[in-house]
Amino acid sequence: MLNMVEIRFFGQLTDLTKTEKVLIEDIRDTDMMINKIMEMYPALATATFKVALNNKLVNDKIEIAENSIIAFMPPFSGG
């Protein structure tokens, strides 16, 4: 069975990807997912972003469960 996950893009990242979300399958961990997204959207290579898995920021390689939601978010600014 393939692992289907939803990837959401926010802020300037939607301009770079030309979409707000995409579904991808057969992704097992965050490293694999980031590599796949970079392959799909080469413009992200120069972007700065944070990754959240099911509403929690991640910095390390983490296993992704079926039907997870991943968010690519631009840097936060205070105000």
Please, is 65 exposed, middle or buried when counting C-beta atoms within 10 Å of its C-beta (0-12, 13-18, 19+)?
exposed
The residue to which tokens 């898995």 are assigned: 53
pTM, to two decimals? 0.88
Q: What angle do CA 46, 47, 51 make, to 5 degrees?
A: 135
Q: In the chain, where are the structural domains located?
A: 4-73
Q: pLDDT (tens digit, 9 = 90+) per residue, 6-56?
A: 999 999 999 999 999 999 988 899 999 999 999 999 999 999 999 999 999
For 4-73, CATH number out of 3.10.20.30, 3.30.1280.10, 3.30.470.20, 3.30.70.660 equals 3.10.20.30
Contact 51, 71 (CB under 8 A): yes
| End-to-end Cα, the chain, rounded Å | 45
Residue 75 is predicted with a pLDDT of 83
